[in-house]
Amino acid sequence: MKKILQLKEEKGITLVELLMVMAVFGILMIAIQTIFTVGMDVFHIGREDTKIRSQSYIAVENIMQAIRNTPTTGIELRGTNGTYDEIVLNSLAGEQGRFFLQGNQLQYEKDGTQRMVAEGIERLEFLVVCDSFAGSYDSYTQATLRIDDSDDGFANLDPDIKGMVIRFENVAGSVARYIYRKIVDYGEDWIEIDSDFASGFSPTNRNYAIGNTYQIYLRTERSDHLQAKDFTTGVTPRF
């Protein structure tokens, strides 16, 4: 009889208490799942960002190293309408290699063999930083490929100028584009370039500048989580 009375006095779990426990447990599970999902998203975004940066660094480093190992006279920029998206490198031994963008992949071609250097790249562009000498020339003679300037400003230039690049301006509306040509010889009041203006347009004025630092501009592709990133650096080849 005592055991029966004890059983009657013991209280069980009510339905309300059970529902409350289940509700708290559900909230905890939702919170844990949210934290886990956010953590995984952050992890994937970070991994994707690291991959994009890594590919960009690989691309830029390969191009910079190739330019450093190439004499200035052996570098050629290729493109259309003043935008140069390909660089050709000719070594002293007569070997030729070139970097160019194919789809979203940076390709390097040498001796007929092509290999992928990096991927995930949306845009590639080459420029020349022309800050060593600038002015306005008097005339250009296509037969001799000479730029004439009567102020004798070229007499004081460094002898290594023969390996440098001259830039001519072309302005279409409000957009300035440039023609780059290598300098092959010069005097006190003239500069001889390596070819005529065969890039599809001619200078609209007589402004020019001289330099030898090649600028590499690279933009990565935009993904679902990340904005496109821009990378710009300059490199000077050896004379």
Distance CA 97, CA 91 (A): 8
Q: Are strands 75-80 and 190-193 parallel, antiparallel or unpaired?
A: unpaired
Distance CA 133, CA 154 (A): 9
Neighbours of 85 (CB within 10 A): 16
pLDDT in tens, 88-112: 998 888 889 999 999 999 999 998 8
pLDDT value of residue 11: 59
pLDDT value of residue 200: 47
pLDDT > 90 in the chain, percent: 15
∠ CA 82-88-93 to the nearest 5 degrees? 150
Q: What is the pTM of this model?
A: 0.71
Q: How many residues does the chain have?
A: 239
Question: Greater confidence, 165 or 5?
Answer: 165
* Residue 8 pLDDT greater than 70, yes or no: no
DSSP state of 69: T
Average pLDDT over residues 193-209: 67
If pLDDT is split at 50, 70 and 90, which confidence band does 202 have?
Answer: low
* Residue 159 pLDDT greater than 80, yes or no: no
* Residue 47 pLDDT greater than 80, yes or no: no
